[in-house]
Amino acid sequence: MSANPNLHPLDNLISGFDKALRVISGVATATRSNPAAHAEDVNLEGADLRRSAGLMRVNHVGEVCAQALYDAQARFARSDAMRAQFAEAGREEEDHLAWTAQRLHELGTQPSLLNPLWYAGAYTLGAVAAHLGDARSLGFVVETERQVEAHLNSHLVELPPQDARSRAIVAQMRTDEAAHGAAAQALGAVEVPGPARAAMTAMAKVMTSTAYYI
């Protein structure tokens, strides 16, 4: 949720803290129906269950980070148009957060225990990007969504073929992430420099490798 200029700064701080607590604790409400609703629910076991649980935990962490990123970028954006763009993308990402949380519950596993750390780190990155200006902040979105889309493509390969419910969620997430990146590009995103892209890739690898297990 972006800062409301009509509220006292303390009220905005409380609102932001409440949002962070809800995201970290897994409280999210989807505005769209779950794409897995009509997919066959197969009883996964053994290695297949562990694989699906690990990958969907990674995807849930990605959505925790997305909420933090978009909230920070909206809060510190320099124009109303940018704030509206980040707020709209954040609402769609909340669908993803709700869907992945539900799938983790169905798989009998829990979200990452490090969600507070992931949220704090992503919020910091979003705030830094926003303070570099709207064009660079949008460029950060484009690069983030490009990397997320690549991760989701790999997950569609790695998920057990019979796990139709997880695959349906990941496929819809991939479509949405591509749209978010395209929207940011159309608004005038500036390309992220090579060293920054490499750093983002390295940080994402640490996050995904850790969240798969913890």
In the predicted model, what is the mean pLDDT of residues 187-203? 87
Q: Which range has the worst mean pLDDT, 5-9, 22-26, 193-197?
A: 5-9
Q: H-helix or E-strand containing 26?
A: none
In the DSSP assignment, the letter for residue 105 is H
- Rounded CA gap, 150 and 2, in Å? 28
As given in the structure block, the two tokens for residue 106 are 């169905």
Q: Domain 46-211 classified CATH 2.40.40.20?
A: no
- Furthest CA-CA distance within the chain: 53
Counting every residue written for the chain, the total comes to 214
How far apart are the two ends of the chain, measured CA to CA in Å?
Answer: 27
When pLDDT is cut at 50, 70 and 90, the band that residue 1 belongs to is: very low
Q: What is the mean pLDDT of the chain?
A: 86
Q: Which range has the worst mean pLDDT, 84-88, 147-151, 183-187, 200-204?
A: 84-88
As given in the structure block, the two tokens for residue 77 are 């954006």
Which residue is associated with the tokens 């869907």?
99
Q: What angle do CA 169, 25, 16 make, to 5 degrees?
A: 105
In this structure, what are the phi and psi dihedrals at residue 154, rounded to the nearest 5 degrees? -70, -35
- Rounded CA gap, 106 and 200, in Å? 31
Q: Which range has the worst mean pLDDT, 6-10, 78-82, 126-130, 189-193?
A: 6-10
User: How many other β-carbons are positioned within 10 Å of the β-carbon of residue 206?
Assistant: 10
Express each pLDDT in 54-81 by its tens digit: 999 999 999 999 889 888 988 888 888 8
85, 18 Cβ separation under 8 angstroms:
no
Express each pLDDT in 20-47 by its tens digit: 666 776 677 888 999 999 998 899 999 9
How high is the pLDDT of residue 17? 56
73, 86 Cβ separation under 8 angstroms:
yes
Question: Domain extents for the chain?
Answer: 46-211
